[in-house]
Amino acid sequence: MKQIVQTGARSVEVQESDQPKPGPDEVLVRVHSAGICGSDAHAYKYDGGYDWIQIPRVMGHEYSGRVEEVGSNVTTFGPGDKVVEEPIHHCGECLQCKRGEENVCENFSITGMHRDGAYADYVTVGHEHLHAVPDSVSLQEAAITEPTSIATRAVLTQSDLTPGDDVLVEGPGPIGVLTAVIADSVGANVIVSGLSHDVQSRFPTLKRLGIDTIDIETNSLENAVAERTNRVGFDVVFDATGHHSGIKTATENVRKGGQVVIVGIPNEPSDVLLSPVVRGEVDINSSYGSKWADFEKALQLMENDTIDAEAIIDTSFSRDDPKSAFEAFLDSQVIKPVFTFSEE
């Protein structure tokens, strides 16, 4: 089979490998579609905080496919079933897992980082980590289940958002776009902030989805706050930038008594003045990964067409030229590049 292998910083190759065999409790999945996310891009660059990943590594954790073969102990899935993997595997034994906080497990491992992932024709995975894909959701659409589950958790579980709230989403990457779409679907008044390089592709996609945008390099965010909130500030700000400046901007533009939810993971310290946060009793929360229920909700949102996956993904990149997809993503030319490995 073919697989995309990271061989160094900004270096990926298509290599041949033997097709894996599932163990007794595993499922062999024929990969259909697999996307690139922000963490994949950081790993591709081999940024600080990702340099623990052992190279060479088959990347990829956002994927969909069909069951090809099941191990002798597997009864929950059968050949031909459409599935997606929940790629953050928890241990089930640490304090967090026992308290139902398995998304922040002490001993977690991630497909495509701690072990070889899904940028391949086939991948094996424990059956307990799989979710069934509804009949009405295509495998191409299902490839963004994992990032949708992250946005689902951020909006529906970790925030206090209510219909009619004024909401700012910082960062029009995949998580930011999905967060904006879900917040919009529950009746919030949403605007997404970005930079001038987002104007080329990401902002037009948001416009097609009916969501307002602002380029804060050429337009005043302060003016947007005045116009949209009567100078009060946003009820909820979601920081999906992954940049240390995002948290500072969020705290400066949220209203007193409002909430900031940090979804992106900055790699550098943030210079946040906390006195107005305390005096304004601003709630600062975080949202990391997702849980089983978030995956199921994400699939339901795609099933009822709340998530327009076709507007968000870009399948024009060939798996035989993976570097082009990574570089286009890093250059903000696309929101979600998705490799196609097999037909439906």
The pLDDT tens digits of the residues spanning 264-314 come to 998 788 889 999 999 999 999 999 999 999 999 999 999 999 999 999 999
Residue ranges covered by each domain of the chain: 2-147+290-340, 159-286
- How many angstroms separate the CA atoms of 213 and 269, rounded? 27
Q: Half-sphere exposure (CA, 13 Å, Cβ side) for 219?
A: 15
pLDDT for the residue 115: 96
pLDDT for the residue 55: 96
The closest alpha carbon to 86, from 305, 336, 299, belongs to 299
- How many angstroms separate the CA atoms of 256 and 303, rounded? 37
Top-level class of domain 159-286: alpha beta
The pLDDT tens digits of the residues spanning 142-173 come to 999 999 999 999 999 999 999 999 999 999 99
DSSP classification of residue 7 = E
The closest alpha carbon to 283, from 101, 158, 185, belongs to 158
For residues 180 and 211, is the Cβ–Cβ distance under 8 A?
A: yes
For residues 87 and 112, is the Cβ–Cβ distance under 8 A?
A: yes
The pLDDT tens digits of the residues spanning 81-97 come to 999 999 999 999 999 99
Rg of the chain taking only CA atoms, in angstroms: 20
- The residues near 226 (Cβ < 8 Å, ≥ 6 apart) are none
pLDDT for the residue 47: 87
Q: Specify the pTM.
A: 0.95
Q: Which stretches within 19-105 are classed as H helix?
A: 38-45, 95-98
- Which tokens is 29 given? 């999945």
pLDDT for the residue 344: 72
**Superfamily designation of domain 2-147+290-340:** Medium-chain alcohol dehydrogenases, catalytic domain (3.90.180.10)
* pLDDT mean for each 10 residues of the chain (344 residues): 97 97 98 95 91 96 98 98 97 97 97 97 98 97 97 98 98 97 98 95 95 97 96 98 95 98 90 95 97 98 95 95 96 95 86
3-class DSSP string for 168-211? EEECCCHHHHHHHHHHHHCCCEEEEEECHHHCCCHHHHHHHCCC
pLDDT for the residue 96: 98
User: How many residues are there in the chain?
Assistant: 344
Burial of 287 (0-12, 13-18, 19+ CB in 10 A): buried
pLDDT for the residue 17: 97
Residue with tokens 């939810």: 261
- How many angstroms separate the CA atoms of 288 and 57, rounded? 24
